[in-house]
Amino acid sequence: MAHRVTLLAGDGIGPEVTSAARAVVEATGVTIDWVERDAGRPAIERDGDPLPASVLESIRDTGVALKGPVTTPIGTGFASINVRLRKALDLYASVRPIRSLPGVKTRYGVVDLVIVRENTEGLYSGIENEVVPGVVETLKIVTERACTRIAEFAFALARRDSRRKVSAAHKTSVMPMTDGLFLDRCRRTAARYSDVEYEEVVIDNLCMRLALDPARFDVILLENLYGDIVSDLASGLVGGLGMVPGANIGRDAAVFEAVHGSAPDIAGKNVANPIALILSGVLMLRHLGEYAAAERAMAATLAVLADGRVRTRDLGGSAGTTDVRDAIVARLQTGAG
């Protein structure tokens, strides 16, 4: 049976990396009925809106999307497309596995952690005001409901994936009410998961410890802005933004995308690393219940990385996006993953 999946190529390097991820997903033999929709710059040109209603309708209909990055136009009045998408579909949990990959030289030994980021509120509420000229404010909205469900999500993920510990990040010394509510919900949830170790770490201290010894972390649970920043920091531990996949999960829909953005500086040059979006495709295959295909795609990707001959320039190589795609597809087709 074919799975229906909405495909958003996005803009910048989006079309290049999504086409690579699509080719790898298809090479696993899983049949996907792709529903292609424009988001980002092509959608502004056609519909005057980077996130037209047709995109949301399609994802509501298929329940699953594979998404390339999109540029947020600055100073044009458009709110971040990603924030709008996550809110509109209530994709409340952002999950980013941070894993060292074979053949990718980093400063660290084995890193294997998961970032779970609350995706719908906090400082991303988009409520900013001018109080009086020269004084502006932005509101950090934190609700019991969102804190409870993201904490529940993180602990359930830890239990399901046999992970030993959840570390919750906070800054209660400065924000006792908002971060305090977040921590309170984490604690209550932790009490129901006695098989999973729980700790609380002040966000600045967490960054220092991550840079010193990332292996001490397992699942890191963060509110929205902390999660955004720590995701990029953690990407740097395993080789950069080109390596880290992501999933945005809600009750009724899931959108799979890389942590990186549209990288306008390298767009259209066939130099972008497609691994992050290919691994997002692997997460998507698992979500669709296609576990064997996901493992094959993962194995083929790891084999190409370990082999080391075909890698993009962010990893010290000179191969193009399409070369990486072709090498992984060839491994899948010959069963040499």
Q: Which residues does 236 contact at the CB level (< 8 Å), separation at least 6?
A: none
Single out the residue of 5, 70, 221, 238 in contact with ligand NAD (rule: CB under 6 A).
70
Q: Is 265 in the site for ligand NAD (CB under 6 A)?
A: yes
Q: Give the C-alpha distances (Å, rounded to integers) separating 193 from 59, 79, 158, 178.
A: 33, 38, 10, 23
Return the ∠ at Cα 326 (arms to 256 and 232), rounded to 5°. 40
- What binding mask, one character per residue, do residues 39-58 give for ligand NAD by CB under 6 A, x or -? --------------------
Contact present, 186 and 219 (Cβ < 8 Å): no
Determine phi and psi for 120, rounding to 5 degrees: -120, -15
Which is closer to ligand NAD, CB of 55 or CB of 183?
A: 55
Q: What six digits make up the tokens of 45?
A: 């040109």
186 vs 324, which CB is nearer to ligand NAD? 324
Provide the minimum distance between the beta carbon of 176 and ligand NAD in the complex, in angstroms, as a whole number. 30
The 306-335 contact track toward ligand NAD, x by CB under 6 A, reads --------x---------------------
Site stretch for ligand NAD (CB under 6 A), options 45-53, 70-78, 104-112, 280-288:
70-78
Tokens for 13, please give them.
């390097």
Find the Cα–Cα–Cα–Cα dihedral 272, 276, 277, 282, rounded to 10°: 150
Q: For residues 270 and 16, what is the distance between their CA atoms, to the nearest angstrom?
A: 7
C-beta of 222 vs 266, nearer to ligand NAD = 266
Binding span for ligand NAD by CB under 6 A among 113-121, 150-158, 160-168, 264-272 = 264-272
| Cα distance between residue 320 and residue 273, in whole Å | 8
The single residue among 151, 263, 279, 298 that binds ligand NAD, judged by CB under 6 A, is: 263
Closest distance between ligand NAD and the C-beta of residue 39, in Å?
9
Distance CA 255, CA 54 (A): 15
Residue 106: CB partners within 8 Å, gap ≥ 6?
100, 237, 238, 239
CB of 323 to ligand NAD, least distance (A): 13
Q: Does residue 260 bind ligand NAD (CB under 6 A)? A: yes
Question: What is the side-by-side order of every strand in the sheet holding 3-8?
Answer: 32-37, 3-8, 64-67, 254-256, 247-249, 93-99, 112-118, 219-222, 165-170, 197-202
Minimum distance between the CB of residue 142 and ligand NAD, rounded to whole angstroms? Answer: 23
Q: Provide the minimum distance between the beta carbon of 10 and ligand NAD in the complex, in angstroms, as a whole number.
A: 6
Give the up-direction half-sphere exposure of residue 144: CA atoms within 13 A in the CB hemisphere. Answer: 1
Measured from each CB, the residue nearest to ligand NAD is: 261
Q: Which member of 262, 279, 310, 332 binds ligand NAD (CB under 6 A)?
A: 262
Closer residue to ligand NAD in complex, CB, 209/313: 313
Active site residues: 124, 171, 204, 228, 232
Binding residues for ligand NAD (CB under 6 A): 13, 17, 69-72, 82, 241-242, 257, 260-266, 272-273, 276, 314
